Structure 1
Amino acid sequence: MVQPYPHASTTTRPKDAAQSAPIEAWRLAPLIAGQPTYRTGRWIGSRFQYPRPINAPKITRSLPKAPAAVMIHDMHGSVATLCLDLDTSKALKGVVDADAARLRVLLQSCGIAFVEDFSPSGGRHLYVPLRDRLSATEARELVEALALTATSLDPSPHQNITDGCIRVPGSAHKSGGHQTLVTPLAHAYDILRRRNDITALEALRALLAPEITRRRAQKAREAKLVASQRTGNMQPLSLSLATTSEAPLRRIARTGLYDTTRYKSPSEARMAVLNHFSACGWTLAQVQNELAGQFPGLAALYGSANKRDRLLSYEWTKAQAFTATGQKRMPKQTGEKHALINNTSQTLPTGGAIKSSSPAVHQLVNDLENILYAVLDARLQARGREGLSLRLLIRGLLGYMRAKETNILDVGCRTLAAAMGKHHVTIARLLPILAAASDGILTKIADARHKAADVYLIQLPEHYNDLARQLTWRKGRIHAIRPVFRALGDPAALVYEAIERAHHSPTTTDVSRTAGVSRNVVARALADMEALSMVRRDGGQWRTTSLNLRSLAARLGVLEDYQEQIRRNRAERAQWHAYLDRYRVLELVISETDLFDLERDEHWLPPDDAAIWVAA
């Protein structure tokens, strides 16, 4: 179970609350409601609900004695007011307050006027009146997009056309007290009468483009899953849950809500979260940055900013000490023998001539990039859709080569798959094809054995030496698939690269020619990226913007997919390593029968993916 939200008597009154009587605030109800009626609430079992009455009472100037909620949609399903419900049942009050502040800044930046109130339980409501009514679908899309930016925002009132309702200012609350108006009463009347025009709403829609794109992709996946279930091609249950899965500790960091049967106090819950981040390799600066970003629940667990500033550094030091201790190898037991017959550890390089210096590796990568753009790209384009993946794969290998400063790569298929947003079976199929098509650039020099991956050598063939020296190196770094392009697709990655690494700002025709992608696909990718403010058009030429692609990827939700793929990879590796450990013989003496056993299977049957995901 999670801890309950604060009672009315324990919730302090916001400093910005307006001094208006409930009866006066209630008279705003007709300007907010979609219909001239309201519903009264009552306890039904263990839940407080607003059931549909046979004859709904009319909204009058008299304040209802029981908690009352007005309908959001009219009889035709359209919406005159966007109602943003920040609920303490979804996150701690500190998260609700942070979300409200974030939404205020967002709405004000678009020139949108709104009315705000707060409830005795600590929740808040923001009302955005519209001059022109929106259809239920359009309103729901906007509210769901806003919910992706605010953890405590409950979009359900806009998701139910027939029963979506919300308590308005002045209404009684189930725990006692009333909805209290934050906006001054006269100002609230003015906002609700003037209302917001379509221009401000379009500005909001443009600002929420990443979240709208993310939500549409989620709905497309859900529709595909439902269609596969109806046709009988049902996917594994874990696969259907993969798009919405979230690590429990990260959920605590996001919402501040925790299982009270597992953690007795907020202190224990936040220490568990900090241990998790420390084990994942985070730094204190990264944790501090995310307190006001995607993990406001962790900040709310401290209760106050002063307490957080006082304890965070101390608790982070404890978390690092704890995880460092946990990562140390256990001391060897008395009499334990450690000589292994099947030694699966990777052989360490001995140095010598094959060890290239760091400047030499970087120069080699620059020369290989020239050959890639001048020769290899054109050859791989002829392979169609497969060539598109091959082009990105060679870019990923060159990027890994530059990062590790070595031209001998032993990267596993799952590592490359996670970097490129593809399945590891696809990478395993593409690597031999790329080695054959690379004209001597990529060569396999050792097969995979036990825990070690295939080993590849990347070199510049002699017949390309002169061409590589004649061409000018390009600015910037080469990338395979950056996280944001998991959502936008492989063609968009090549289109963005053609703009980012061009010597001059290219036109659409130049981008199509450089990226090796058809004009229609390029136009589609440019339109998507322009809507997300990744690129801009200036006098017929395209330029990249200063937008942070990693933060955009987080807004598009692709980092969650990446983390899910990493989790699956770890589970599969653990199962593979456990299989290898079955054949470890902890004996110093090796007999002839230990070298080969006719009755023992020497091959590995790949485990069932569904079983792995369920087990993990």
Structure 2
Amino acid sequence: MDFDTSKALKGVVDADTARLGRLLSSCGVLFVEDFSPSGGRHLYIPLRDRMDAAEARELVEALALTATSLDPSPHQNVTDGCIRVPGSVHKAGGHQTLVTPLSQAYDILRRRNPASALRELRAALAPELTRKRALKARAAKTVAALRAGSLQQLSLTTKASESPLRRVARTGLYDTARYKSPSEARMAVLNHFSACGWSLQHVENELAGQFLGLAALYGSSERRARLLPVEWAKAQAFTSNRAHPKRDSRKQGKRSAPINNTSLTQITGGAGKLSSAGVHQLVNDLENVLYAVLDHRLQAKGRQGLSLRLLIRGLLGYMRAKETDILDVGCRTLAAAMGKHHVTIARLLPVLVSASDGILTKVADARHKAADVYLIQLPQQYQQLARELTWRKGKIHAVRPVFRALGDATALVYEAIERGRHSPTTADLVRTTGVSRNACSAALVEMEALGMIQRQGRAWRITNISLRALAARLGVLEDYQEHIRRHRFERAAWHAYLDRFRTPDSIVEAEMHDPERDDYWLPPDDAAMWWRRQPA
């Protein structure tokens, strides 16, 4: 494995090598390490049995997804890509130096790694291998679209979504024509994270994770600990000034309130507005009705029923987060939460309204920038049922990011294990979720391979793995960012179209009345109409 300084800074190379070294050691894989005068590093993994080139390429490409500085090109062809072995002369001067002690390196090269160690390594890299297969399937889809002549439309949905500043934070390499020093590049990255709503704790956590390049731009850990709080405060001050610019002092005293307010009267409280505790209690009751009645009713709709069941979960989740029973969430917001197209959401919402039996009701149509307004309530016929059932532990979710890659059926199976009153068996999951036996078994096998669940006897339990970290390893967060970016541009285009029809804030009197022009019409005198009374 070749860790190259042309891919990232030397600090990133060292961190990637150390992290992958720990990964190999945890899987029982023996390796030999060396470094070059340019700052690059090599890891050699000798094998007892021969490995096909395609298999070695797949394994190294999966490792490259976990390390920014790892160059997979030596394994991506069978003719080129040779690397320097320890002791070789470097073109920049010096030699390739062995890090592993010579006696230990000789022992590792003589004993080599068995097939069981590679199996352990593949099990640890299961998310990256799954992500790589998805990328290859997407590439095959691109080739098919190229042959069919529809590549332009496909490229809009498969374009890389990583922003240049996040690439700087990941690799530490920046455009010297744009940023004159590492300090300016650091401030640009911190301004980006501050504008995205990050906190200092979030930034510090990612410095040891996916954004090693930002940490390398500081040079040392002591310098980073000293400068990061100061630069983060500057970034927050800069983004807050951009978000809330100072008003013109000449316009501060200007009165902008309308004289006649013709808008509808808003509810100010009392019996018409639920309290925060009342909303949470209503959501808990609706969850009982959802699991007891509505899920079984939507199972009859086939594949569409899976999307409908997750959509009602997403609406209940927004209801709990916003603490209101009146939701005006747009189709694009729901589409980003569920990992679907906004047209699909727009098609599913009317079906869900008719199938919810009064739980979901549309009360207002979308107008201008406002979305459709829906009322979520507990109908009279379900109130007794909701009171008799006990509430379930945990939170209800629509489609968490990791399930954008695993599918809707897997999300329902995982939810049944997570929120079940006891550890369910496979038969219990098939009966509870309404998913077919084959789909349920495939979802369980895939989640077990990813370390999301584990089997204890005949029952299934969830593990303490971080679903967000797993989503990052599967590459789902990049697709989510691309989804958000596409919606941002679509909203901007729609808002620009609506702004064409806005009435200006200040209307000049000449635009309403021209003193040189009569605004009325005087009827002619009866004497002037004598010709109308003459015979033809």
Instruction: State the TM-score, normalizing by the size of structure 1.
Output: 0.80
Q: Kindly indicate whether the alpha-carbon contact (under 8 Å) linking 1:147 and 1:155 is maintained by their aligned counterparts in 2.
A: yes
State the distance in 2 between where 1:470 and 1:224 align: 51
Q: 1:133 to 1:321 in 2, by over 3 A?
A: same
Cα separation, 1, equivalents of 2:153 and 2:146: 10
- Match of 1:456, SS? strand
1:340, distance to aligned residue in structure 2 (A)? 9.1
2:524 alignment counterpart: none
CA distance in structure 2 between the aligned counterparts of 1:216 and 1:408, rounded to whole angstroms: 42
Residues in 2 aligned to 1:350 and 1:449: alpha-carbon distance in whole angstroms: 23
1:162 corresponding residue in structure 2: 79
CA contact (8 A) 1:346 1:452 kept: no
**2:472 aligned with 1:554:** yes
SS at the partner of 2:394? coil
The corresponding residue for 2:59 is 142
2:288 matches 1:363: no
CA distance in 2, matches of 1:347, 1:547: 49
Find out whether 1:104 has 2:21 as its counterpart.
Answer: yes
Residues 1:451 and 2:369 aligned together: yes
Answering whether residue 229 of structure 2 is matched by residue 313 of structure 1, we say yes
Tell me which of 113, 128, 131 is aligned to 1:211.
Answer: 128
CA distance in 2, matches of 1:306, 1:363: 49
Identity of aligned residues (%): 74
Tell me the CA shift for residue 351 of structure 1: 3.3
Q: CA deviation at 1:333?
A: 8.1
**Corresponding position of 2:203:** 287
| Aligned residue number for residue 395 of structure 1 | 313
Superposed displacement of residue 581, structure 1: 1.3
- What SS does the aligned partner of 1:133 have? coil
| Structure 2 match to 1:275 | 191
Paired residue for 2:390?
472
Report the CA distance between 1:338 and its aligned residue.
Answer: 5.9
Q: Name the structure 2 match of 1:566.
A: 484
Aligned to 2:90: 173
- Does residue 191 in structure 1 map to residue 114 in structure 2? no
Once the two structures are superposed, residues 393-438 of structure 1 have per-residue CA deviations (whole angstroms, 9 ceiling, x without a partner) of 0000011111111111010111110000011111111111111110
Q: Equivalent residue of 2:454, what SS?
A: strand
Residues 443-522 of structure 1 aligned to structure 2 (within 5 Å):
443-522=361-440
* Amino acid in the other structure paired with 1:271: M
**AA partner of residue 211 (structure 2):** F
* 1:231 CA drift (Å): 2.4
Amino acid at match of 1:579: Y
Partner SS for 2:47: strand
Partner SS state of residue 151, structure 1: coil
Question: Deviations for 1:32-79, whole angstroms, at most 9, x for unmatched residues?
Answer: xxxxxxxxxxxxxxxxxxxxxxxxxxxxxxxxxxxxxxxxxxxxxxxx
Residues of 1 paired with 2:186 and 2:493: CA distance? 31
Report the CA distance shift for 1:240/1:460 in structure 2 as closer, same or farther (over 3 A): closer
Alpha-carbon distance between aligned partners in 2 of 1:588 and 1:270, rounded to the nearest angstrom: 43
Aligned equivalent of 1:228, options 131, 138, 145: 145
**Residue 252 in structure 1 maps to residue 168 in structure 2:** yes
Report Cα offsets for 1:527-568 as digits up to 9, x if no partner: 000000101111111111111101100111101111111111
Alpha-carbon spacing, 1:317–1:332, altered in 2? closer, same or farther (3 Å): same
Structure 1 segments (4+ residues) deviating >4 Å: 332-341, 345-349, 587-591
CA contact 1:395–1:480 (8 Å) conserved in 2: yes
Hey, what's the Cα distance between the residues in 2 that align with 1:332 and 1:490? 52
Rounded to whole Å, the distance in 2 between the matches of 1:165 and 1:555 is: 29
- 1:586 is aligned, of 504, 510, 525, to 504
Contact 1:445 1:457 in 2 (8 A): yes
1:328 to 2:227 alignment: no
Distance 1:185 1:488 in 2: 46
C-alpha distance after superposition, 1:63-114 (max 9, x if no partner): xxxxxxxxxxxxxxxxxxxxx1000000000000000110111011011110
Contiguous gaps of at least 5 residues in structure 1: 1-83, 595-616
Q: Is the 8 A contact 1:337 1:588 kept in 2?
A: no
Cα gap change, 1:190 to 1:456, in 2 (>3 Å): same
Residue aligning to 2:347? 429
| Aligned equivalents of 1:560, 1:300: Cα separation in 2 | 23
The 8 Å contact of residues 161 and 479 in structure 2, kept in 1 or not, is answered as: no
For 1:538, which of 447, 452, 456 is the aligned residue?
456
Whole-Å separation in 1 of the counterparts to 2:266 and 2:138 = 45
Contact 1:339 1:586 in 2 (8 A): no
User: How big is the shift at 1:590?
Assistant: 11
Which of the numbers 133, 138, 161 marks the counterpart of 2:50? 133
Cα deviation 1:159-193 (Å, max 9, x = unaligned): 01122321111111111111111011111111011
The letter of the residue matching 1:101 is: A
- Per-residue displacement from partner, 1:420-476 (whole Å, max 9, x unpaired)? 001111111111111111000000111111111111000000011111111121111
Aligned-pair RMSD on alpha carbons?
Answer: 2.1
Letter in 2 for 1:426: T
SS at match of 1:261: coil
Q: Count matched residues.
A: 507
**Are residue 439 (structure 1) and residue 357 (structure 2) matched?**
yes
**1:580 match: secondary structure:** helix
User: CA separation in 2, counterparts of 1:332 and 1:516?
Assistant: 61
CA shift at 1:323, angstroms? 0.4
- The residue identity in structure 2 corresponding to 1:298 is L
Structure 2 distance, partners of 1:158, 1:348, is 66
* Paired residues of 2:161 and 2:481 also in contact (CA < 8 A): no
Between structure 1 and structure 2, the one with the greater Rg is 2
- Specify whether residues 365 and 303 from structure 1 end up closer, same or farther in structure 2 by C-alpha distance, changes over 3 A only: same
Q: 1:204 to 1:394 in 2, by over 3 A?
A: same
- Superposed counterparts of 1:24-39, under 5 Å: none
2:336 and 2:483 in contact (8 A); partners too: yes
One-letter code aligned to 1:432: P
CA distance in 2, matches of 1:535, 1:340: 59
Checking the alignment, whether the CA contact within 8 Å between 2:145 and 2:154 is kept in structure 1 is: no
Alpha carbons of structure 1 residues 346 and 558: separation in structure 2 relative to 1, 3 Å = farther
1:528 pairs, out of 435, 442, 446, with 446
> d(CA) in 2 for partners of 1:248 and 1:91?
14
Matches of 2:146 and 2:67 in 1, distance apart?
Answer: 32
Q: Which amino acid aligns with 1:393?
A: L
1:232 and 1:238 map into 2 onto residues whose CA distance is 12
Matched with 1:298 is 214
* Unaligned runs of at least 5 residues, structure 2: 513-536
* Aligned-pair CA distance for 1:312: 0.4
> For the structure 1 residues 339 and 202, does the alpha-carbon distance in structure 2 shift closer, same or farther, using more than 3 Å as the test?
same
Specify whether residues 587 and 205 from structure 1 end up closer, same or farther in structure 2 by C-alpha distance, changes over 3 A only: closer
Structure 2 CA distance for aligned equivalents of residues 435 and 552 of structure 1? 34
Deviation at 1:235, TM superposition (A): 4.0
Question: Contact 1:339–1:587 (CA<8 Å) still a contact in 2?
Answer: no
- Trace 1:400-411 onto structure 2 (pairs within 5 A): 400-411=318-329
Query: Per-residue deviation at 1:586?
Result: 1.9
Q: Is the 8 A contact 1:338 1:586 kept in 2?
A: no
Measured in 2, the distance between the counterparts of 1:373 and 1:240 equals: 35
Instruction: Give CA deviations for 1:559-609 in whole Å, capped at 9, x if unaligned.
Output: 111111111111111111111111222245699x99xxxxxxxxxxxxxxx
